[in-house]
């Protein structure tokens, strides 16, 4: 499964974050992203009904690969897989979350901030990690330094990534994909302007194609 998702990300190297407390909003947002060409989405567990939203996207939007983000514990990871998540993303590195993902056969992208955390991830046998929050953790220069030491590791920078700096991040060979919420602005979602979401997704892919 990890190889399948990573293969998709090689050509579509952007993972948009979907945050919703209403299943209908989550599915409409995910469809809008897919219409713009982004087919891997991260439904973040930051609302009371986030798991319902994840389940709806997994069940009703087959054109996307739906994963769960902001997974903080092994219990949440179990619930996310039960709700249909095909991959797990965490803001930090937690061995319990990693263990659940391995038991359930799903990819896991834990967040790392420091070289020490990255070394722990490396020694757990992980091959791809989330670099979070990317802008605070040193951005592109930090990624270049880390990847020169951990030469087999791939990164998914998230946090402070935008259309303005997406190309810079994707230009780093060790970057598999970038994650971000700029593709799903709260103002557009609240207004029901899903066309804007599609436009932002399409623009992100155009940036990626030039990188």
42, 75, 144, 190: the active-site residue: 42
The predicted structure's pLDDT at residue 211? 81
CA angle 119, 120, 125 (to 5 degrees): 95
- 75 catalytic, yes or no? no
Cα 99 from Cα 101, distance rounded (Å) = 5
Per-residue pLDDT of the chain (211 residues; tens, 9 = 90+): 666 899 999 999 999 999 999 999 999 999 999 999 999 999 999 999 999 999 999 999 999 999 999 999 999 999 999 999 999 999 999 999 999 999 999 999 999 999 999 999 999 999 999 999 999 999 999 999 999 999 999 999 999 999 999 999 999 999 999 999 999 999 999 999 999 999 999 999 999 999 8
- 42 catalytic, yes or no? yes
Contact assessment for residue 89 and residue 70, using Cβ atoms and an 8 Å cutoff = yes
pLDDT tens per residue, range 149-171: 999 999 999 999 999 999 999 99
Q: Give pTM, 2 decimals.
A: 0.96
Domains of the chain: 2-202 (3.20.20.70)
pLDDT-above-90 percentage for the chain: 98
10, 75, 78, 130: the active-site residue: 130
């Amino acid at each position: 499964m990890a190889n399948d998702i990573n293969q998709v990300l090689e050509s579509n190297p952007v993972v948009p974050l979907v945050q919703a407390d209403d299943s209908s909003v989550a599915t409409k947002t995910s469809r809008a992203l897919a219409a713009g060409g982004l087919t891997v989405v991260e439904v973040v567990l930051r609302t009371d009904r986030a798991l319902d939203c994840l389940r709806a996207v997994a069940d009703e939007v087959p054109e996307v690969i739906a994963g769960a983000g902001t997974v903080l514990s092994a219990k949440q990871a179990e619930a996310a897989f039960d709700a249909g998540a095909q991959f797990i993303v965490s803001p930090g590195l937690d061995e319990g979350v990693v263990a659940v993902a391995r038991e359930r056969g799903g990819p896991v992208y834990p967040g790392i901030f420091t070289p020490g955390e990255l070394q722990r991830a490396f020694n757990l046998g992980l091959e791809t990690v989330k670099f979070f929050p990317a802008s605070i953790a040193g951005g592109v220069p930090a990624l270049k330094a880390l990847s020169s030491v951990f030469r087999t590791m791939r990164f998914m920078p998230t946090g402070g990534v935008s259309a303005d700096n997406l190309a810079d991040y994707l230009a780093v060979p060790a970057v598999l994909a970038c994650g971000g919420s700029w593709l799903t602005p709260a103002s557009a979602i609240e207004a029901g302007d899903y066309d804007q979401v599609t436009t932002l997704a399409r623009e992100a892919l155009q940036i990626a194609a030039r990188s």
